[in-house]
A and B are shown apart, each in its own frame.
Chain A
Amino acid sequence: MLTARRLGKRYGEKRVLRGIDLELPRGGFLVVTGPNGAGKTTLLRICAGLAQPTEGVIERAVERGQVGYLGHEPLVYRELTAHENLELYGRLYRVAERRERIGMLLERFGLWDVRHERVASYSRGMTQRLALCRVLLHEPELLLLDEPYNALDEAGAELLDAQLAELRSERTFLLATHEPARVEPFASGRLALAA
């Protein structure tokens, strides 16, 4: 699904990634760990196609529309409601039976009652839940999740655990986290980045 050879990234003089090799087969679950500044976010952005490596090569056996990317930012409009945001992404991702899928996700992530409120009024945890809805909306084959447990309360984290357990056998995951123990039961491999 995803293969990288001698992957490196520089921003001017600053080297963010160096010599990363990774092989993520279809159905794999690779956990990326490392201290702050080790390049986890950069690696995920390269895998998503949002950034280009300055060294090495990356091959993706998946189309752009089949990638679900969760970054540090929720990638939703603050002045739109949760429903309007998902409706927009649903259209752009050509989601079949969009309304049903949006309703199901909002209900599952506990946002149904606030679906017509602006995202600007949400707490950080609610916004993260919405970001997870956005990522899962189009049922992507490859999920790139950067610190998905960030800002989630225990109930939210358990919801995410349940989603990962449900999708584990059907999807491919690349997940960066500071809490590798939490996703250990799902992991098929681990990549530790050094600072």
Chain B
Amino acid sequence: MTYVRDVGALARKDLLLELRARDTLPAMLLFVVATFVVFHFSLPAHPSKLAASGLLWVAILFTALLGLGRAFLPEQEQRVLDGLVLAPCDRSAIWLGKSLATLAFLAAAQVVALPLYALFFRPLTGSQVLGVALADVGICAVGTFLGAMAVTTRARELLLPLLFLPLAIPIVVGGVGAGVAAEPGRYLVFLLLYDLLFAVICWASFEYVVSE
């Protein structure tokens, strides 16, 4: 229970910071809306199911990257991460709290993005929405972990996409498959397994990311 309370306190802190500073969610929203508008006017009318699904995932991934790149900035700004690392709580709670807050931002961006996608391109299917939800979990788990690694480096804006995008390829494969395949079930299972596997890896190894 103490662990859950620690995670809750850390996630609540991130939501409060965003509510005050408003520098992550508005940027994500603006980016995803602008991306769909640009695609809408630059692509031919009625793109194929596969092409439309592909551009949905391009928008989701790069919107997520925008949020992930900023996730640890408040900690970096005043070296607050040192204070959190010294606290007697399990260090993985820092990762989990941050992942949950980032997941909330990404979900909030998608509340706007998904209807817009349906309006501009193709109606969404149930399996597609479920695929996006499962992918979000994986994106936030892996991206937050890599964000913590990248934030201490000088080239963090370059390093995060370099590390994250190759690891996100299975998410894109699963997400596109869940949207276009005749039997999306196996792609959803694939996304679920990805989430479980990478969440466990990130949870178990976060301690080493924040230790010198």
Q: Which residues of A contact B (CB under 8 A)?
A: 48-52, 63-65, 67, 69, 71, 73-80, 84, 88-89, 91-94, 118, 134
Chain A positions within 8 Å of B80 at CB level: 73, 75-77
**With A64-B88, A118-B20 known to touch, is A78 a contact of B82 (CB < 8 Å)?**
no
Tell me, rounded to whole Å, the shortest Cβ–Cβ distance linking A118 to chain B. 7
> Closest chain A residue to B93 by CB distance?
A92
On whether the beta carbons of B86 and A67 are closer than 8 Å, the reply is yes
On whether the beta carbons of B74 and A134 are closer than 8 Å, the reply is no
6 pairs across A/B with beta carbons < 8 Å? A50-B82, A50-B85, A71-B79, A76-B78, A92-B9, A92-B84
Tell me, rounded to whole Å, the shortest Cβ–Cβ distance linking B205 to chain A. 17
**With A74-B78, A77-B78, A118-B20 known to touch, is A92 a contact of B87 (CB < 8 Å)?**
yes
On whether the beta carbons of B20 and A79 are closer than 8 Å, the reply is yes
B2 interface residue (CB < 8 Å to A): yes
Q: Indicate which residue in A51, A73, A93 contacts B87 across the interface (CB closer than 8 Å).
A: A93
> Closest chain B residue to A119 by CB distance?
B78
Which residues of chain B in 1-56 are interfacial with respect to chain A, using CB atoms and an 8 Å cutoff?
A: 2, 5-6, 9-10, 13, 16-17, 20-21
> Closest chain A residue to B89 by CB distance?
A92
**With A73-B78, A91-B9, A92-B9 known to touch, is A79 a contact of B17 (CB < 8 Å)?**
yes
Chain B positions within 8 Å of A88 at CB level: 9-10, 13
Tell me, rounded to whole Å, the shortest Cβ–Cβ distance linking A171 to chain B. 16
On whether the beta carbons of B16 and A78 are closer than 8 Å, the reply is no
Number of A-B contacts (CB under 8 A): 74
Q: A71–B82 Cα gap in the complex (Å)? A: 9
On whether the beta carbons of B83 and A65 are closer than 8 Å, the reply is no
**With A88-B9, A91-B6 known to touch, is A76 a contact of B17 (CB < 8 Å)?**
no
Chain A positions within 8 Å of B21 at CB level: 79
On whether the beta carbons of B13 and A80 are closer than 8 Å, the reply is yes
Given contact pairs A64-B86, A92-B89, a sample of 7 additional A-B residue pairs in the complex whose CB atoms are under 8 Å apart: A51-B212, A69-B83, A69-B86, A73-B79, A77-B74, A77-B78, A92-B88
Tell me, rounded to whole Å, the shortest Cβ–Cβ distance linking B14 to chain A. 10
Using a Cβ–Cβ cut-off of 8 Å, how many residues does chain B contribute to the interface with A?
25
Tell me, rounded to whole Å, the shortest Cβ–Cβ distance linking A110 to chain B. 21
**With A88-B13, A89-B83 known to touch, is A78 a contact of B88 (CB < 8 Å)?**
no
**With A51-B212, A92-B9 known to touch, is A65 a contact of B79 (CB < 8 Å)?**
no
Q: A63–B89 Cα gap in the complex (Å)? A: 12
Q: A93–B85 Cα gap in the complex (Å)? A: 11
Chain A positions within 8 Å of B13 at CB level: 77, 80, 84, 88
On whether the beta carbons of B5 and A91 are closer than 8 Å, the reply is yes
On whether the beta carbons of A93 and B88 are closer than 8 Å, the reply is yes
Chain B positions within 8 Å of A77 at CB level: 13, 17, 74, 78, 80
Chain A positions within 8 Å of B89 at CB level: 92
Tell me, rounded to whole Å, the shortest Cβ–Cβ distance linking B53 to chain A. 38
On whether the beta carbons of B87 and A65 are closer than 8 Å, the reply is yes
Q: Residue among A48, A51, A88, A93 with the most chain B CB within 10 A? A: A88
Chain A positions within 8 Å of B2 at CB level: 94
